Amino acid sequence: MSDGDIDPLKFRRGFLLLLVLGISAIFFAMIRSFLMAIFLAAIFSGMLYGVYRRFVRWFRGRESLASIATILVFIVLLVVPLTAFLGLVTTQALEVSEAVGPWIQQQVSEPDELDRLLERLPFADRLAPYNEQVTQKVGEVAGRVGGFVVSKLAAATKGTVIFLFMLFVMLYAMFFFLKDGPSLLNRILYYMPLSPEAEDRMVEKFVSVTRATIKGTLVIGILQGALAGGAFAVVGIPAVAFWGTIMAVLSILPGVGIAIVWIPGAIYLAVIGRVGAAVGLTLWCALVAGTVDNLLRPRLVGRDTQMPDLLILLGTLGGLTLFGAVGLIVGPIVAALFVTVWEIYGETFKDILPEPTPVRVEPAPSGE
């Protein structure tokens, strides 16, 4: 064969590769709206696979019946309670947005009343020179927060039909993932040009981080939100489900977490003259609800993630920004896979990559 001839085998392989990439791109463009529902279906199917296998034994190998039973358990124990609770949270969020904004604006429109409220704070003397600026900023924040909450709630209401449709897609996908999950996973791994060790490593990381996220972020968040929200109910702060949910989400932030919510709550109680309630709320949230993370996270999560706390935080916040509420689960998983892929890359190409050079930090001159 001359140099100008085209190798038929290479041509066919190149054409097939382009065809695969083109058709795959079109297919993923078609289903991109459902990718998150499918991804969540894969996660929940993996979590419930042990329950599914137990049903298979109970139903003497009838996999379709076992899959349906597993999905029904999932709906009864998680979907229905969560949907009802989110409905309550949405209602309370609307009440808060309708009540807090006008209240703050009323205080801003009545400077004398606002001044009297500020004078009750322990550090009122330090704020005195800045009362005008504080009043202006409080008004701006109140308007922006109120508008943001109302717009998000309106969007959530409009998206109810879409949510129900995506829930149907997720449950339908779970039915097949439970039945055919192992074979589907093996087929996906077969098409990946990685070594078996690298494939096992990625699957193990996916499973371990998912387990750690569910046990750590969600369980601890729910406990902290419930404990702090219960304290809000005791001291008489309204919309406890809404504030408890906000604190459950904010519990992912190390160091501050739920304090972003309960500290303003305690300040509010002190401003309106309920100093005892403010002290009690502070003690409970700081000594009980605030220490749940330190006590339970090492036992629930253990060494499952094996990732720096900063990367977990960035993955969670980035997931929330990109994917919404499901980002609490998806974000850390993507971050873990990101680290794992780069580790595999470094090990695969270690022969051609340069040796890392230690960074030397020169000590500061003694005179500084």
Nearest alpha-carbon partner for 317 in 327, 307, 326? 327
Q: Where is average pLDDT lowest: 61-75, 113-127, 290-304?
A: 113-127
Quote the CA–CA distance of 235 and 223 in Å, as a whole number: 19
Q: What is residue 72's predicted lDDT score, i.e. its pLDDT?
A: 94
Q: Is the pLDDT of residue 53 over 80?
A: yes
Q: Say what the pLDDT of residue 68 is.
A: 93
Crossing angle (nearest 10°) for helices 35-47 and 327-348: 90
Q: How much is the pLDDT for 297?
A: 67
Q: How confident is the model at residue 135 (pLDDT cuts 50, 70, 90)?
A: low
Q: How confident is the model at residue 78 (pLDDT cuts 50, 70, 90)?
A: confident
Q: Provide the pLDDT for residue 222.
A: 82
What integer best gives the mean pLDDT of the chain? 75
Residue 291 has pLDDT above 60, yes or no: yes
The closest of 308, 311, 332 to 209, measured between CA atoms, is 332
Contact 258, 251 (CB under 8 A): yes
Determine the pLDDT at residue 244.
81
Phi, psi of 224 (to 5 degrees): -65, -40
- In three-state secondary structure terms, 261 is helix
Phi and psi, residue 157, nearest 5°: -65, -45
Can you tell me the distance from the alpha carbon of 326 to that of 47, in angstroms, rounded to the nearest whole number?
A: 16
- Residue 63 in this model has a pLDDT that exceeds 80: yes
Check if the beta carbon of residue 203 is closer than 8 Å to that of residue 197: no
Token readout for 160 is 């109810």
Q: If pLDDT is split at 50, 70 and 90, which confidence band does 175 have?
A: very high
Rounded to 5°, the CA angle 219-222-227 comes to 125
Residue 71 pLDDT: 94
pTM: 0.65
Percentage, residues of the chain above pLDDT 90: 10
Does the pLDDT value for residue 294 go beyond 60? yes
